[in-house]
Structure formats: C-alpha cells, structure tokens
Amino acid sequence: MSEYNKPLPGMDGLTKEFYDFCKDEALHFQKCTACGSFRHVPREMCAQCNSFEWEWMKSSGRGTIYSWVVINRALHPAFYDSNPQAVPMAPVVVEMEEGVRLLSNMVGCTPDELKMDMPVEVVYEAVTDEITLPRFRCSQA
Amino acid sequence: MLKDKACIVGIGETGYCRKPGSGMSEEVLQLKASVAALADAGLKGKDIDGVLAFPNLGKSETFAASLGSENLRFAATIHMGGASPVASLRMAAMAVDSGAANYVLIPGGWNGFSGVRVRQTVTTDKNSIPGGAIAWDYYMPQGLTVPPQWYALMCRRHMHEYGTTHEQMGAVAVAMRKHAQLNPGALMCGKPLTIEQYMASPMLADPYRVNDCCLETDGAAAFIVTTVERAQDLGKTPIYIMGAASGQPYPADEFTTRKDFHQTGLTIAAPEAFRMAGVTARDIDFAQIYDCFTFEVIQQLEEAGFCKRGEGGSFVENGGIELGGHLPVNTSGGLLSEAHSLGLGHIVEAVKQLRGDAGERQIADAQLGVVTGWGDFGDGSIAILRK
C-alpha cells in the first residue's frame, strides 16, 4: 500500500474520528443529542439548535444516488500520473437514509450504469494502512 | 439605502493573452490596469484612499505603496473568489457613502494561463478558499479536485430536475462566442463556434464539455468607485450603483449537503439588489453574468430572477441572450470567449455599455445593466448599474 499517492484527508480532529470509523468499516455521522439532527461534514456545533452536545451514530450505510460527474480528463496529477486507467471516474453524491449527503465513488459500477435515485450501500476501501475511504456499490438488498 | 450613493468613475484593462504569457508579474499587471483606471477617471494614485484587493492575488497595502496612496484609510479583501469584484463594488459604495474612503480602487488580475492555473489553487493550498479544508478532507480523496467537477454535480442535478439540456448549455457557449466576434480584444475574436462544433467538443467533466469551460488567460482589470458628488467633477460619465448585494449559499463552505441544492449566493443577493434599485428584472437592458461555465449562466439567470428556477434553459435558447435577444448577456464574450478577467471584465464591460463606448457590440440606448459574480462553492454578488 506504500505506493498510494492520491490525495488523502488530513487526519486530525473530527475528520480523523470520521475516517477512523471507516477504518473499522462502520460509517458514522454526528447526531445532535439535543435536537436529533444528523450532520455531515463533521462540525463542532449543531447548526439546527446550536448545541455542542452530539454523538457519533452508526449509519445504516444505505442511500441513493443524488448526482454525479464523469471525469473524462483528470485535472489533478495524482489522477493521471499515477494511473492512466483512473479515468473515466465518477465521483457521486449519495443521499443517505439519515438525510445527510456525502461525496464518494462507486465500486463495481461503471459511470454508464449510474442512475438518479439508484439505491446504493457503503463498502470500504483501505487505501493505506492508516486510511480507509467509504465507497458505495449498488444495493444488494 | 445605498441606492445612487456611489459611482464607478474609472475603468482600466491590460489586454488579455494566452501564449506566450503576459511576461509580467501579477503585481505589475494589476498596477498597469490600476494606472489605466486612474487615467480614465482623471485621478492620481495619491487620490486613492481605499483599496480592495482580490483574494490571494495581492495585498491592498502593496498597491497603495506603489501607487503613492499616502492616505490609505480603507484596505480589505472579500474572500468570495469570482464573486469578489462585484461584492467589492458594493463594499466600495458602502465605504465612500459612509466617508470611510473617498476613492476606492478595486484591482484584479493574474497570469491565469502562463502562471498558476485554477486547477492548482485549491489542490495545492487548502487555505485558498474558505471551504478549502473541507475539499481536502472530503472531496479530493474521492477524486473531486477542481471547479468544473464541483459545478458539474450541481448541473447534472439541475438537468435531472428541470430537463436542462446540453443544447441549452451550448446556446450559452455560442452566444458568448458570437459576442466575442464583435470585440477585437476578445481572445476568441476570429474563432466562431457553431452549436454543432460545441456538441462535438469532448467531455471534460460530464455534463461539462471543454467548450462549457471558460478560458484561462493572463491579464488584469481595475475600476474606481467614489461618491456621486465627487463623480460630477471627473471627466467621464459617472455610472451609478443603483443596487448591490452579495450573498452566500448555505452552507457556503460545503455544497453536497445543501438542503436546497440549487441555492446560490445570488438567491439571497438578487432580491436585495433589485429592491434597493427599485427596478425589476424586466427593466434591465443587458446582463454581464459570471460565466465560469455555461450552466452557471443558466443557474444565475434563474437565481437572479430573470426567469423562474428551471426555466433558465429555455431562457437562453433561440438567441435569447444574444445581442438583439430579450436579454443580451456578456456582450464582450465573457470568461468563455473574451478572457478570464476574474469578473472584473464584466464590470468593465457594463461600464462601457452604459457609457456608449462598446463599439460594434454597443446596445442601443443601454440604460440599465446587471453584473453578477460567482465564486468558490456558489458565492454570489450582483450590482444594478445605470448611467
């Protein structure tokens, strides 16, 4: 895994906590313990009620495709230098059952096969020893 | 109320180029544009007591030091990317109206072709935009690295919900290119574009083709704002700021989770600006819409209230935004076909149209114009100008 040279998240604070859950193959989102709303990306305070009280809640891992972009020409060196087969790739916005959305990528699904509102479920890709990224596949249910 | 309290009294540009590059530093480019704006206004560097520098492209204090602005009283930068110049126009009007400054200079320029490209900004500096750290932690690891990819996500959802088509996006590209044929300073003057050529343009970040994307160019522009009273003593026809506002989508630093995925800063800013000006979208003779990509023109026309949300595609069809159409848009060719002047060029072009100095592309009896800015993850700004 030492060859991985694509961008990686900064591993500190709440971002480290988010990705540490992914490493344990358990997608989590913050849930406000005062008003119950979920949020992503991680933040210190609930924007709905301004409470600082929250807990990590395990996600169902299920969602639907909200939008996507098919990148035919990578404009970042990590995505064309390291692997000419990297394109086309298709980052997707997934709307989760919890109501939050997150940006990810599909596995086992080509860009041509993407459809709006398609049900998907989370899988995990350990890209380095330290970091696992959440990815999605077509729902098996 | 800020209505009619301030005027644009000077504009300046360096001219724009790609290969082999400007051969000047970004500081020199912006100083040359500033000197041109001073000359246009009939002012000296020492008259300038306010400077609003473009984010990441220079410090207000540096400009003042070089221009001999010994009485600098008001120095700031508005961090809204391409929405910064129009937001700065508004802030300059507030500054001169309040007495915080008498003459405010707004410069902006870069070596966007021969120097650092846009694609290298957020990806090399997480502090380059307010949402940069979120992009680093949550977008870039998934391969979403540059603006056309961010906005393509917004565009595809819009296409899904409202039926906006590639042909409609192409109508924007074709209209901008037609206007560029009437502007000798436009990089794409002499290089017309048909809808067939547009549709054959390769996909870059589907739904965006190469021809949906603005140019990358070197060059700078600048303008000067002062009070209505001071404007009367200067040489050029003062261009009045009738209404101006800026706004942020919610949240501004992250766009995937927005409850209203199509909201932009303009959604908030435009009603405020029109209310201030006391006019409606129907009264406007032309619009200079920040056209980083074709779809962003459609989206901003909707959010600015020129048509309803979802109707932007049909609004731009059939020559609707070409000279002679119901709302001529980006009469200079815009970012898509003139040059990427960071949005300052849109203000400069609006001033030329209202002064009657727009040459072959002049709109007959242009009285009222709108200028917008768009930046970062959808920040927006708008000004309504009159002569």
ipTM of the complex in this document? 0.97
Say whether B142 and A91 touch across the interface (CB within 8 A): yes
What secondary structure does DSSP assign to A30-70, as a single string? EEETTT--EESS--SS-TTT----EEEEE---EEEEEEE-E
Q: Does B202 touch chain A (CB under 8 A)?
A: yes
What's the rounded Cα separation, in Å, for the pair A98 and A68? 20
Q: How many domains does chain B fold into?
A: 1
Token pair of B80 as six digits: 């809204």
Q: Does B260 touch chain A (CB under 8 A)?
A: no
**Does residue A132 lie in a domain region?**
yes
**Does residue A110 lie in a domain region?**
yes
Cβ contact B343:B373 at 8 Å = yes
Say whether B123 and A7 touch across the interface (CB within 8 A): yes
Query: For residue B251, which residues of chain A lie inside 8 Å, CB to CB?
Result: 47
Strand runs labelled E in B327-377: 368-375
Q: Does B201 touch chain A (CB under 8 A)?
A: no
Q: How many domains does chain A fold into?
A: 1
Residue A100, domain extent: 13-138
User: Which residues are bridge partners to B227 per DSSP?
Assistant: B6
**Does residue B1 lie in a domain region?**
no
From first to last of its 387 residues, what are the pLDDT tens digits of chain B? 899 999 999 999 999 999 999 999 999 999 999 999 999 999 999 999 999 999 999 999 999 999 999 999 999 999 999 999 999 999 999 999 999 999 999 999 999 999 989 888 888 888 889 899 999 999 999 999 999 999 999 999 999 999 999 999 999 999 999 999 999 999 999 999 999 999 999 999 999 999 999 999 999 999 999 999 999 999 899 999 999 999 999 999 999 999 999 999 999 999 999 999 999 999 999 999 999 999 999 999 999 999 999 999 999 999 999 999 999 999 999 999 999 999 999 999 999 999 999 999 999 999 999 999 999 999 999 999 999
pLDDT (tens digit per residue) in A123-132: 999 999 999 9
**Does residue A55 lie in a domain region?**
yes
The CA distance from A104 to the nearest CA of chain B, in Å, is 6
Query: For residue A76, which residues of chain B lie inside 8 Å, CB to CB?
Result: 119, 123, 140, 143, 145-146
Q: Tell the burial category of B359 from Cβ atoms under 10 Å away from its Cβ (0-12, 13-18, 19+).
A: exposed
Say whether B140 and A76 touch across the interface (CB within 8 A): yes
Q: Does B157 touch chain A (CB under 8 A)?
A: yes
Sheet holding B368-375, edge to edge: B74-76, B50-52, B103-111, B218-227, B6-13, B239-247, B379-386, B368-375, B286-288
Out of B138, B156, B202, closest to residue A67 by CB: B156
**Does residue A90 lie in a domain region?**
yes
| CATH number of the domain to which B240 belongs | 3.40.47.10
Residue B271, domain extent: 6-386
